[in-house]
Structure 1
Amino acid sequence: MNNRPQKIFFARNIKFLRERKKMSQEILAAQLGLTRAKLAAIEAGNTKSPQPEDYLNFSDFFKISIDTLLKIDLSKLGELKMRDLEAGNDVYIRGGNLRVLAISVDRSNNENVEYVPVKAKAGYMAGYNDPEFIAALPKYSIPNLPVQGTFRIFPSTGDSMLPVPESSDIIAQYVADWTAIKPNTPCIVILKEQQDFVFKMVTIHPNGTILLKSLNPEYKPYLVEAGDVMEIWQFYAYTSRKFPEARSEMATILAAIKNLEEKIGKNKSK
């Protein structure tokens, strides 16, 4: 049994968050109804036992749980994680990357695969972590899915991800830790402000931005902030009612040219 006292980061975190917001002690103290001297004492760690209302006030102001303020050294988190945290996704309560995700199960206690129709997009933004909303979505049983993981089906719209056909149903697996996503991974991204789902190739940047790129070159890639993203679901498979088009003559010619160039390059390197 480990009897060592747990390290508390409250004082360090309050100073870190204040400076991150570029606020002086006077301004923050005034907004919290404290004296500057008390705030300075809290930041310096000279107040060993702040009052419960102090914990609540700081938690409400910064929108970060008390557990996180106490247990996690926020200065050690990367920019991506900090922006996600400040956006309301307090996923570090136990020091791990945990998200609140509502699921539903069948009579055998197996997770269902819910289908999120286009008409439910706006409702999903408000009810993604509401068990009752999730339980009301259509459910499917899909064979051969991995035992581990949570899966959902999202309809794709538009032709930005051709050759995946328009109006395909994308089966995707929930991603809890966005930093584990490899560059150019196909994903369903749930965007807050746009109240939309997009199917894109995703690259996570250390500075807290996420690059969304289409397979169709007619669509330009663009950046979004981590705080503007609610969820990311990694592509697993898709179903479509459209029969795939035959390979065009031009595509065949381009492939042959590329193959020839690769052979020439290999010969030169010998």
Structure 2
Amino acid sequence: MDQFLFHWAGNLRFLRQRKSLTRQQLSDATGIKISRLAAQETGKTRNPKMEDQVRISTYYNISIDHLIRTDLTTLTDEQVYELETAGPLDITGKHIRVLPITVNSNNEENMEFIPLKAQAGYTQGFNDPEFIAALPKFTLPGLPREKTIRMFPVSGDSMLPIADGSHIIAQYVDDWSLIKKDVPCVVVLKEDGIVFKLVDNTMKMDGTLRLHSLNPLFEPFRVNASEVLEIWKFIGYVSKEMPVAIAS
């Protein structure tokens, strides 16, 4: 039983630090006094109250059995996330959609342009072949013909010097796990529609993507992978405005 209690103490420290929580924050969230949390984390409390076990288990969404019997520090981020969500973590995004494409008379894949007026409808029609077929088509020299390419509108000034009214040319990301850190992408979200941001892939840690802007006035934010419909990697942009000059 001592081995089991050792895992409880180590797991409490590991989970709190994994979520970058202070003991005060964990105390506020669970209703367990800081002194009791400290005693359990250090192993001074050899028999944690069942009430505390239930509260910790509920907060982290991990069974008491795993908290006591499994050394969570030996697991990968994906395995811990699977325990938290009671299901496998899909970090590729391949389970949610089939990408509809259209081809031209030469059997080459078309490049679709999503005009601003079609932006709102894209989140409903992104996987509808008829909707995609009705979108305007475009061509530009130098783009890879063997890839799926689309052009998306940019609204607002969060990605300055890429100005409001620009259009982002982007390549479809088939496997989200290939996205690493600070990758400029068009992300299509269920609720927020089309956004253009720098993407940090933290799905292995907590099932989210961290999205942030080039413009430092805008705060970064996280979205759950379940909210993401599509991801398109930036390869260029079209704008009627000159980029903002950098002050010397």
Is the pair's TM-score, using the shorter chain for normalization, greater than 0.5? yes
Query: Helix, strand or coil for the counterpart of 1:140?
Result: coil
1:200 is aligned to 197
> Which residues of 2 match residues 1-270 of structure 1 at below 5 A?
82=88, 91=95, 99-194=97-192, 196-205=193-202, 206=204, 207-248=206-247, 252=248
Write out per-residue CA displacement over residues 197-227 of structure 1, whole angstroms, 9 at most, x where no aligned residue. 1110001111211000001000000011000
Cα 1:147–1:217, aligned 2, differ >3 Å: closer, same or farther? same
Q: Give the Cα–Cα distance (whole angstroms) in 1 for the partners of residues 187 and 196 of structure 2.
A: 6
Contact 1:83–1:227, Cα closer than 8 Å, also in 2: no
Q: CA deviation at 1:246?
A: 3.1
Task: Select between 234-243 and 123-132 the one with higher mean Cα deviation.
Answer: 123-132
Q: CA deviation at 1:84?
A: 5.0
Cα 1:111–1:78, aligned 2, differ >3 Å: closer, same or farther? farther
**Identity percentage of aligned residues:** 49
Write out per-residue CA displacement over residues 154-186 of structure 1, whole angstroms, 9 at most, x where no aligned residue. 010100011112211000000011110120100
Contact 1:187–1:232, Cα closer than 8 Å, also in 2: yes
Contact 1:99–1:176, Cα closer than 8 Å, also in 2: no
Provide the aligned length of Structure 1 versus Structure 2.
168
Q: Give the Cα–Cα distance (whole angstroms) in 2 for the partners of residues 141 and 78 of structure 1.
A: 42
Contact 1:114–1:139, Cα closer than 8 Å, also in 2: yes
Relative contact order, CA 8 A, sep 6+: which one is greater? Answer: 2
Contact 2:94–2:175, Cα closer than 8 Å, also in 1: no
Structure 1: runs of 5+ lacking an equivalent: 1-20, 23-74, 92-97, 253-270
Runs of 4+ in 1 over 6 A off after TM superposition: 75-78
Structure 2: runs of 5+ lacking an equivalent: 1-60, 63-77
The one-letter amino acid of 2:164's match is: E
Q: CA deviation at 1:143?
A: 1.2
Task: Report the aligned-residue RMSD.
Answer: 2.7
Contact 2:176–2:231, Cα closer than 8 Å, also in 1: yes
Q: Give the Cα–Cα distance (whole angstroms) in 2 for the partners of residues 118 and 159 of structure 1.
A: 16
TM-score of the two chains, using structure 2 as the length reference? 0.61
Write out per-residue CA displacement over residues 217-254 of structure 1, whole angstroms, 9 at most, x where no aligned residue. 00000011000010000000001001223332xxx2xx
TM-score of the two chains, using structure 1 as the length reference? 0.57
